[in-house]
A and B are shown apart, each in its own frame.
Chain A
């Protein structure tokens, strides 16, 4: 099955999590796919230590349970009966799934309790804290607010350019030109954008992959044609460029002095509106737009602002010169 990099949170289950993270976390499934259909509904994890010791109030059973060294040592110190009782405290709840970390050997009672309750139990050789970080990073992305946008996302010198505009205006052709110049395609036509704190991260649809639809040619596989260096899995969205039919663009912004933004899920992304006219090299314009956005970030102001400041300074000097003309002949530029 083709798996999206970020699975749909609506259908996210223990099985999907295992498929996505199994390798990265070196998970070993002790439950023979039992409980893989359990839905994972929360990006948080839980340490069941308190629950094992009898304090079951507010036990977060709907989170992934992490059995680290604390939990396993506690269980090992108990007698067989006490151990079974302690585990019953936890597995009396409909636990989503459990992970034993640090390559620790789970007591037999833990394995059998999980099997009996049809809930998945995984082993991982990784240390608890790094595993929790990896896991919450991934879950945080899965459950982050997201939106699907019609556009093309491309990495130009590390800057994520989201090219938007009505269909057939030439988004794909322009981006194909960028790929040909050595930039990297992230997603064509459909971009899934996730919000991570105050950044937007875009990725493509797993099925579409790195295919582009070019009118007159059909589907083009960028990864096969240009190589893996021409593609990228995920990319932040740093600049939105809207390609517009000439006439729809406000000519007042020719200087680039007025900054426009597009708000995506509450995040303001700088936006340019480029009128599409015959003979314009949109690819080149996109590349320059990306470079200027990088420069603006580095220097804290746009080149239009710098030019305007110089101009205003020159007018000020000229006014002074006019005023003192004749009085001080040395007052030149």
Chain B
């Protein structure tokens, strides 16, 4: 089990396009991956799940993974979120 906390850095937050980028990154790895907001925890490989987090800009997100590639998975997903998805930052 591996986990890391990251803040959503873009203005619009995790809407559909960022959610798709998170999922694209997460499905690469052989392990379970989750993203967690203060109120909800969802499967990072499900686009609908990640969208229902409704994590707005500035929200603290916990990325966690469990399985053979958990370290790489958490690193990759955290990097994607940190990048701000190529959008306008807060």
- Residues of chain A whose beta carbon lies under 8 Å from any beta carbon of chain B: 251-255, 257-258, 304, 307-308, 311-312, 314-316, 318-319
Contacts and interface: CB of A to CB of B under 8 A. Distances in A.
12 contacts: A251-B24, A251-B27, A252-B24, A254-B24, A254-B47, A255-B19, A255-B20, A257-B17, A311-B15, A311-B54, A312-B13, A319-B57
Nearest to A251: B24
Contacts, number: 47
Interface residues of B, number: 18
B55 A315 contact: yes
Nearest to B52: A311
Q: Which 3 A-B pairs have the closest CB atoms?
A: A315-B56, A308-B16, A255-B16
A257, A307, A308, A315 pick with most chain B CB within 10 angstroms: A315
Contacts of B15: 308, 311-312, 315
B90 to A, nearest CB: 11
A318 B17 contact: no
A308 B52 CA distance: 11
Contacts of B47: 254-255
A315 B20 contact: no
Interface in B1-40: 12-13, 15-17, 19-21, 23-24, 27
B51 interface: yes
Nearest to A314: B54
Interface string B53-64: 011111000000
B68 to A, nearest CB: 21
Contact of A254 (B12, B20, B55, B57): B20
B12 A312 contact: yes
B20 A253 contact: yes
Nearest to A256: B16
A10 B56 CA distance: 61
B54 A252 contact: no
Contacts of A308: 15-17
B20 A257 contact: yes
A307 B19 CA distance: 13
B12 A315 contact: yes
Contacts of B55: 315
A304 B47 CA distance: 12
A318 B56 contact: yes
A55 to B, nearest CB: 65
A308 B12 CA distance: 11
A311 B20 contact: no
Given A257-B20, A312-B13, A315-B55, 18 more contacts: A252-B20, A252-B21, A252-B24, A253-B20, A254-B23, A254-B24, A254-B47, A255-B16, A255-B47, A257-B17, A258-B17, A304-B16, A307-B51, A308-B17, A314-B54, A315-B15, A315-B56, A319-B57
Contact of B56 (A252, A258, A316): A316
Nearest to B13: A315
B43 to A, nearest CB: 14
Nearest to A319: B56
A30 to B, nearest CB: 68
